Chains A and B, each alone.
Chain A
Amino acid sequence: MSEILTVQNISHIYSAGTPFERAAVKNISLSVQEGEFVGLIGHTGSGKSTLVQHFNGLLKPTSGTVLVDGQDIHASKEATRRARFQVGLVFQYPEYQLFEETVYKDIAFGPRNMGLDEGEIDRRVRTAAQQVGLPEDALEVSPFDLSGGQKRRAALAGVFAMEPRLLVLDEPMAGLDPVGREEILQCIERFRRVSGAAVLFVTHSMEDAARVSDRLIVLNQGEILMQGSPAEVFSNSQALTAAGLDIPTVTRLFIELRRRGLPLSPAVYTVPQALAEILRLKNGGEGEVC
């Protein structure tokens, strides 16, 4: 597997040289492999949103380099533009960027900017709409007539239609009810399955991050606190709590049970895992559980 995104020692300082100077991102290095699902977790103000805007060249790092597919994205204007299309970025509350007369035209905005021909644009719009579960007849209505959840999915489709090789989502589920959250997660999963793209998913919800990610990166005050598989990260619950982050409820329960003397693994972070772990304990040593 090759690296689709490589970030080398980037820092970003806001209002440099004024009394308001503030480093939002400090000397961060990370990489995302082709097809990987990475969760980026951090508390509010930890620099998550600033960091992800470097991945497609919207922000230029004060120092350090960003490579997409091995190419420095600030090497030339063309390189930056190429990065825009290879790294699809979905902002927080993306439904606020809808603007066209019809949903179809709005989804087509990205592909059209890429300079694709009409046939290809049409194929991409329809594929993306399908991936986000928008019915055919919704394509011809105004995006402002859709429901909240549908708007969000239409905005998502606008980025899916660019068929990026790395999809970056900044809190894609913020402000949605549990059903809406589930729908968005399914859209992302579907897109990933079909396109084989890598996904980097920014969230402050440990539960969501734990459920879907292959690897987690934890950000605290503009620096990487730790990274690794969900099991590795959640087994280090003390550091997470110190950074003001919640650990999944299941993990908290298991840590407490362990503290009370049950030989359970501390690296449990989803309900199915918890079930398996309890069954293992029950079948393995009947006497120990109650």
Chain B
Amino acid sequence: MLKDITLGQFFPGSSLLHRLDPRAKLVAVVLFVVSLFISSSFWGYALCFLFLAWCVHISRISPKMILKSLRPLVIILIFTGVLNMLYTPGEAIFHFWIFNITKEGIFNAAFMIFRIVLLIAATSMLTYTTSPIALTDALERLLGPLKKLHVPVHEFAMMMTIALRFIPTLIEETDKIMSAQKARGADFDSGSLIDRAKALVPILVPLFVSAFRRADELATAMECRLYHGGEGRTRLNTLVMAPRDWGALAFMAAFCLLVMNAQRIAAVVL
């Protein structure tokens, strides 16, 4: 039951997207998101959509997984849509009580929803094709210059790696503790809201105790291996930008420009 949560789930694979340097991927996603937000025309969105569809296709990730990543956002999408529809001034096509639904409003709502959907889909593609470890590595390297300003970049990256590493462990632990308390007759599914909140105590207390115990054990294990932070630390797998990574970045920059001028280009071509 708890195992069904998708939390930046990684699907191992060997497609071009999987093999790209995580730093390149991260920057590419940022560029894609920028393109999405500067685009204001139908053609810009169409380009973004086609490009993303092509990415999903070559990554061999089932489009169903992308839809699954959108499911938690349905409420936000509806909310955004409705608000945009009601509060955009313009040519009214429908009117009741104090509400005016305008042509511009409908367009705005549609664009807004489309924009958010593409945004989530693109970032999901990043986490679906990049292992969490590679992603934190990339973040550490990209934020490296901040070290000069005494920002503990390495420590943040290490904390993130450890947190990600322990998510499945803690989920498993929660499952186990829940079963154990159920075996002693604990009931999590009935009673009032307060009863249910109280029923969580027998799970949360052991879970916290065990999380602290694990943290302690891990700290000891790291100290035993003389871990002392990022200073002078080398890596087993150093990230290297291959020509195809630079190529991907150049492509994304060009894409960004293309989307920005999509309206004008379309006007010339058509």
Bind each other: yes
Interface residues of A (CB under 8 A from B): 53, 56, 58, 81, 84-85, 88-91, 94, 96-99, 109-110, 113-114, 144, 158-159, 162
> Once bound together, how far apart are the Cα atoms of A237 and B184, in whole Å?
38
Say whether B202 faces chain A, with CB atoms less than 8 Å apart. yes
Q: Which residues of B contact A144 (CB under 8 A)?
A: 209
Alpha-carbon distance between A97 and B179 when the two chains are bound, in angstroms: 10
CB distance from B210 to the nearest CB of A (A): 6
B201 partner, pick from A84, A89, A91, A99, beta carbons under 8 A: A99
Chain B residues numbered 176-207 whose CB sits less than 8 Å from any CB in chain A: 176-177, 179-187, 201-202, 205-206
A97/B206 in contact, CB under 8 A: yes
Residues of A within 8 A of B185 (CB): 81, 84-85, 109-110, 113-114, 162
Map CB proximity to A onto B217-234 as digits: 1 under 8 Å, 0 otherwise. 000000000000000000
Check A97 against B177 for contact (C-beta < 8 Å): yes
Known: A91-B176, A96-B177, A109-B202. A84 touches B183 (CB 8 A): yes
Assess the A58–B179 pair: CB atoms within 8 A.
Answer: yes
Residues of B contacting A90 in the complex (Cβ-Cβ under 8 angstroms): 183
Task: Give 22 A-B contacts (CB < 8 Å), ordered by A residue.
Answer: A58-B182, A58-B183, A84-B183, A84-B184, A85-B185, A89-B183, A91-B176, A91-B179, A91-B183, A97-B184, A98-B206, A99-B205, A99-B209, A109-B181, A109-B184, A109-B202, A110-B185, A113-B184, A144-B209, A159-B183, A159-B184, A162-B185
CB of A49, distance to nearest CB on chain B (Å) = 10
Q: B206 — which chain A residues lie within 8 A by C-beta? A: 96-99
User: Which parts of B158-191 form the interface with A (CB within 8 Å)?
Assistant: 176-177, 179-187
Q: Which residues of A contact B184 (CB under 8 A)?
A: 84, 97, 109-110, 113, 158-159, 162
Measuring CB to CB, which residues of chain B are less than 8 angstroms from any residue of chain A? 176-177, 179-187, 201-202, 205-206, 209-210
The answer on a CB contact under 8 Å between A113 and B187 is yes
Whole-angstrom CA separation of A110 from B206 in the bound complex? 16
**Could you tell me the distance in whole angstroms from the C-beta of B184 to the nearest C-beta in chain A?**
4
| Chain B residue with the shortest CB-CB distance to A101 | B205
- Distance (whole angstroms) from the CB of A174 to the closest CB of chain B: 14
Chain B residues with Cβ under 8 A from A91's Cβ? 176, 179-180, 183
How many angstroms between the C-alpha atoms of A94 and B177 in the bound complex? 9
Q: B187 to chain A: which residues have CB within 8 Å? A: 113
Give the residue name and chain of the A residue nearest to B189 (CB): A77
A156 to B52, CA, bound (A): 56
Residues of A within 8 A of B209 (CB): 96, 99, 144
Query: Closest approach, in angstroms, between the C-beta of B256 and any C-beta of chain A?
Result: 37
Question: Which A residues are in CB contact (< 8 Å) with B202?
Answer: 97, 99, 109
How far apart sit A96 and B201, CA to CA, in the bound complex (Å)? 14
Q: Is the CB of A94 within 8 A of B180?
A: yes
Contacts of A89 in B (CB 8 A): 183
A85 to B184, CA, bound (A): 7
